[in-house]
Chains A and B, each alone.
Chain A
C-alpha cells in the first residue's frame, strides 16, 4: 500500500491509527487472560451476596471511586497503614474492579471490619461529626432511601454473563456448593436472591433498623466485607511472590 493512499484516505487513516495505538494496550492486557499466575490460588474469595452487590452498585452510583482506591500496593508504608497488599484474586469477581489510583480519601480495600456498623452509618451521614478534618461529603439520603432490589436478579444475571459464578439452575448450584460450601452457595443462588437480600439485611441489621431495608444497609454490608475474605494467616510471605 502506498503511503500516499493512506494519507489521502481519512477513513483508512483512522482505522490504521486505531490499530497501531491499540497494540500497546493489547500486549500489556491480553497475556493476563491466559498467563496461569495472574490470579493467585487462595481460599475464601467469593462473589458478593445480593445485598453486598447492591451496596456495590450504590458505591459506584455515588462515585465513591473518584476519591477512594481499593488497592493496597506492596510497599512497607502501605502495609503498615492498611494491612496486607491486595491480591488479584480478591477482585476477581469485581466488574468493574475498583483498584483506582486517586486517593483523596484513604484506600478502602481493607476497610471491612475495621469500624463498627454504627460508625460507618454515622460517618456516611455526616463524616465531619466523627472526623472533623474530613472533606468527605455526607450521604444522609442513604439512610432514608428504601433499597430498590426489584431488579437484583437481573443484575446478578448480567454479572453471570461476564463470568461471576452466580447459579441459576440445580447443576450450577451444586457446582457452587462444591466450590464455596453450602452456605455461601445458597447466597449465590439467583432464584433466592431477593429472600437472601432481605434476610441478610434483617439479620445483620447494618443501619440499626431491622424493619427498614435502606440503601445504607446495602452499602455498609458492602464496606464491611471489603478485604475480609482471605485469611492471610494461612499463607506465608513468599507464597504470593510465586504469582508475580
Chain B
C-alpha cells in the first residue's frame, strides 16, 4: 500500500482536491458559499448587460458602441451619439440643473447696467459666488486670494488707490484691454544726490518730515524739465489715471515698501532706488479669454472689494 493513497472517506467528510504535497499534505474541496457563488453569477450577468449598453469590445478598427445614447443640441439641431463622457458633458453644459441656473444668472447679470448690478442684492450674490472661482483662477495668481496684492509687485484691489481708475467702467477697461505700466528709470539723467532730493520731496508730500533744502530741490526736479515727473504724476503729484501714474500724496505705497523701512534714511534710499531703476508692469488683457459677461461679473466683484469709486 503506497503512502499517498487517500484514506477512505468517513461519514460527513468532504472530498479533497486530489492534490498531494510533501507526501501527505492535502486540501479539502469545500463547496463555495452559496451567497458568494450567486454574487459571482450576478457580476457575470452585470458584465453582459454592460457590454450591451455601453462602449465595450474592440472590433476591427472600431469598437462596439452600445445601445445607450446621449442627446444634446448643436447649432440648433439635436445630435444623438453613443454614450460617452464628452457628449455627457455637452449635455450637462446645456441642460444640467446647475449649468442652466448659472447660465440664466449670467444672462441676467449680463443684461444689467453696472449701477443696477451693484444695487441688486441677488445680482451681487451671484457676482460674489461666481467671481470667487473666476477671480481665484484668473486674478489671484498676482492680486492674491481676496485681492490685497503684493507690495512692490502687484496692486492692491481692496483700497481706493487706483492706478488706472477705480470706477467700474475703468476696471472693466483694464480687464478688457490689459495695462502696460511704465515709468522710465532716471539713473542716467539724475545723479544720486538728485535722486535723493526727489525722493525726499515725494516723501514730504506724504507727511514725512524731510530736510527742507532737499525737499525744495526735489520739488524743482519733480515739477521742472530735469525730472519731468509732473508729466505723468501731475504738478500736484496726485497722479493721472490716464497714464497709470499713481497718486504720490496719499501715503499709500504699492511699489516701494516705505512703511517697512526703519528710518528716514532708508525710506529715502528705497524711493530713490526705485526712481533710479524705473518700472515696467503688465496686466494681461482678458478679452480673448473671458466672455464680456464674465468680465462684467469680475469688474463688479473687484469694484465691490472695497475700493470702488
A31 to B55, CA, bound (A): 13
Verify A7–B19 contact, CB threshold 8 A. Answer: yes
From residue 46 to 96 of chain A, which have CB atoms closer than 8 A to chain B? Answer: 73-76, 79-81, 85
Please tell me if A151 contacts chain B, counting CB pairs below 8 Å: no
Which of B107-115, B136-144, B185-193 is near enough to bind chain A?
B136-144
Please tell me if B150 contacts chain A, counting CB pairs below 8 Å: yes
Please tell me if B96 contacts chain A, counting CB pairs below 8 Å: yes
Verify A4–B19 contact, CB threshold 8 A. Answer: yes
Please tell me if B269 contacts chain A, counting CB pairs below 8 Å: no
Please tell me if A161 contacts chain B, counting CB pairs below 8 Å: no
- Tell me which of A73, A118, A237 has the highest count of chain B C-beta atoms within 10 A of its own C-beta: A237
Chain B residues near A4: list those with CB within 8 A.
19
Contact flag A240-B86 (CB < 8 Å), given A35-B61, A76-B99, A131-B141: yes
Instruction: Across the interface, name the chain A residue whose C-beta is closest to B138.
Output: A114
Interface string of A122-151 (1 = CB under 8 A from B): 010000011111000000000000000000
Task: Give how many B residues have a beta carbon under 8 Å from the other chain's beta carbons.
Answer: 36
Which of these, B88, B137, B138, contacts A74 with CB under 8 Å? B88
A239 to B98, CA, bound (A): 24
Verify B62–A36 contact, CB threshold 8 A. Answer: yes
Chain B residues near A97: list those with CB within 8 A.
none
Please tell me if B33 contacts chain A, counting CB pairs below 8 Å: no
Verify B89–A76 contact, CB threshold 8 A. Answer: yes
A242 to B90, CA, bound (A): 12
Size bracket, chain A contacts: 35 or more
Contact flag A237-B72 (CB < 8 Å), given A76-B93, A76-B98, A81-B133: yes
A238 to B62, CA, bound (A): 19
Contact flag A130-B150 (CB < 8 Å), given A37-B62, A236-B74: yes
Chain A residues near B137: list those with CB within 8 A.
81
Distance of A132 from chain B, by nearest CB (Å): 7
Verify B87–A238 contact, CB threshold 8 A. Answer: yes
Interface string of A11-44 (1 = CB under 8 A from B): 0000000000000000100010011110000000
Verify B63–A31 contact, CB threshold 8 A. Answer: yes
Verify A34–B61 contact, CB threshold 8 A. Answer: yes
Please tell me if B177 contacts chain A, counting CB pairs below 8 Å: no
Which of B38-46, B77-85, B218-226, B237-245 is near enough to bind chain A?
B77-85
Please tell me if A104 contacts chain B, counting CB pairs below 8 Å: no
Chain B residues near A116: list those with CB within 8 A.
282, 284
Contact flag A241-B150 (CB < 8 Å), given A75-B89, A80-B133: no
A242 to B75, CA, bound (A): 16
From residue 221 to 244 of chain A, which have CB atoms closer than 8 A to chain B? Answer: 236-238, 240-244
Instruction: Across the interface, name the chain B residue whose C-beta is closest to A83.
Output: B289
Chain B residues near A119: list those with CB within 8 A.
141-142
Please tell me if B92 contacts chain A, counting CB pairs below 8 Å: yes
Verify B142–A130 contact, CB threshold 8 A. Answer: yes
Contact flag A130-B88 (CB < 8 Å), given A35-B61, A35-B62, A116-B282: no
Chain A residues near B90: list those with CB within 8 A.
237-238, 241
Verify A238–B81 contact, CB threshold 8 A. Answer: yes
Which of these, B55, B74, B282, contacts A237 with CB under 8 Å? B74
Verify B141–A241 contact, CB threshold 8 A. Answer: no
A244 to B84, CA, bound (A): 6
Please give the residue numbers on chain B whose beta carbons come within 8 Å of chain A beta carbons, in ascending order: 19, 55, 58, 61-63, 70, 72, 74-75, 79, 81, 84-90, 92-93, 96, 98-99, 133, 137-138, 140-142, 144-145, 150, 153, 282, 284
Please give the residue numbers on chain A whose beta carbons come within 8 Å of chain B beta carbons, in ascending order: 3-4, 7, 27, 31, 34-37, 73-76, 79-81, 85, 114-116, 118-119, 123, 129-133, 236-238, 240-244
Cross-chain pairs A/B with CB under 8 angstroms, 20 sampled: A4-B19, A35-B62, A37-B62, A76-B92, A76-B93, A79-B93, A81-B137, A114-B141, A118-B282, A130-B153, A131-B141, A131-B144, A133-B145, A236-B74, A237-B72, A237-B90, A238-B72, A238-B87, A241-B86, A243-B86
